[in-house]
A and B are shown apart, each in its own frame.
Chain A
């Protein structure tokens, strides 16, 4: 067979699978978002409604805006905290050696853990009666001794952020260690010989060299933060009330619990829009080397 035919035949199955499992549902979601779309009402999935689901979300649903804000704050906090702490840990671990390499190996573990399980484990750690972190914070910060973390809207949100940061630091640290390894060592040494302080070397030499990797880390983490669902579901299930209801959780609840699949699809599509920008930015970094 000629290569010219073969090369298209080889990608065909993959293209078909990606189309059927990702592109089709995206388009079908878009269609559903313009329908009445009630799960319990046959025929409503084809009943055209125009933009009403979208205008409903924007004008009639405080819970939608609530989840938009929760998701936004959650994303900003988790991205900032994870990136900063991972950068710190990466700087500590980058020099290598047996001890540090051993620690790097351990870093894989939290990331191989199912996010749902991370949610469960943090619910465990913050149990008011026998949670280890609950007890720890109670001793360190006495005003927090008798609070029930997951029953308080702000503290429950804080626990969700902590669980997320805990789960993601290890992976981002590994990525940043990889990035630090590509910063030329002689440039750093030259700056040190010139008498630059540790902080100056970091700011003027390391950080600019690390910028592309840092950008990748921030974009990737933003995407995953925006999508957050599993942990929240197992940790607080959006509660107390709707204090930790992220957009994904809001969509799940409207679509699956209330059966308003058309409305859920419209909110889901509103969520796709920021993803398009982030993916575009990410793709630029992926193709940078080619």
Chain B
């Protein structure tokens, strides 16, 4: 084989491998999408071609499933979690980025470490406490514990963005007589805004997909979408067409959000260990 021919073969093999990887990656997702538009009967026949129906998306919002309630809960809980977390995280991130604090490294390591604590450890005392103060099965309770998983990501991610903003504009404004708080409000916040939005979306995805806390803390009123999936287990087996329709409602918005912030996904998840 000549060198050129060899290269062509290698390229063809590579393309084939990549296509195979896409196939394996997308098949479970596509399968859910298809099942969501199938009738109950079609699901059970492993059909590739079928007459699509939108009925499943109606059924999941009707009684007894009432997925709309869960959708509302998920949206409110994830949104309020983010709205609370981002300003608090931004203040801390600015300080960590611009000043030397006593015990700064220790604080940052502890914040990082809390991210790695198994959720099941954190939730046991919260369950006991919430039971005593009446926060079980409330949105507020879930918002409070969600802060535990969201804050470390938010602080580290926003710190990364602020680290990237050059100091000189800030310094020039300080020389001109602006106070530190004015500088933060008029210079840093506008420049960091895209970063804050990115961190906000990232945290929204995490809060939206959160499972264990909601499983333990909710049972009726504050149930979120991922827990709502359990509704579609019937006595005669899982109702796959309805499960799939609910699955799409859970994942489609997150797909859109993830694509918006895809450039920062790696940095966010690794807390800046990989840039």
Contacts and interface: CB of A to CB of B under 8 A. Distances in A.
Contacts, number: 277
B249 to A, nearest CB: 10
Given A106-B22, A108-B259, A174-B265, A23 B114 contact: yes
Interface string A172-215: 00110011000000000000000000000000000000000100
Contact of A107 (B14, B25, B181): B25
A11 B26 contact: no
Interface in A259-289: 261, 264-265, 268-269, 271-272, 275-276, 278-279, 282-283, 285-287
Contacts of A283: 109, 112-113
A64 B266 CA distance: 35
B126 A25 contact: yes
Contacts of B118: 226-227, 229, 248, 251, 268, 271-272, 275
Given A8-B101, A103-B22, A233-B211, A32 B124 contact: yes
Interface in B71-120: 85, 88-89, 91-92, 94-96, 98-99, 101, 105, 107, 109-114, 116-120
Main secondary structure of the interface of A (DSSP, over half): helix
How extensive is the interface on chain B, given as a class?
35 or more
B275 interface: yes
Nearest to A249: B120
A29 to B, nearest CB: 5
A149 interface: no
Contacts of A39: 128
Given A10-B95, A223-B116, A229-B120, A117 B251 contact: yes
A277 B196 CA distance: 31
Given A92-B18, A282-B112, A121 B247 contact: yes
B205 interface: yes
A34 to B, nearest CB: 13
Contact of A279 (B98, B113, B227, B270): B113
Contact of B124 (A25, A275, A276, A279): A25
17 contacts: A7-B101, A10-B92, A25-B126, A92-B21, A108-B262, A124-B238, A135-B46, A171-B266, A175-B274, A233-B211, A252-B120, A255-B120, A261-B124, A271-B118, A275-B113, A276-B113, A282-B116
Interface of A: 1, 3, 6-8, 10-11, 13-15, 17-18, 21-26, 28-29, 32, 39, 45, 89, 92-93, 99-100, 103, 105-118, 120-125, 127, 129-130, 132, 135, 166, 169-171, 174-175, 178-179, 213, 216, 220, 223, 226-227, 229-230, 233-234, 248, 251-252, 255-256, 261, 264-265, 268-269, 271-272, 275-276, 278-279, 282-283, 285-287
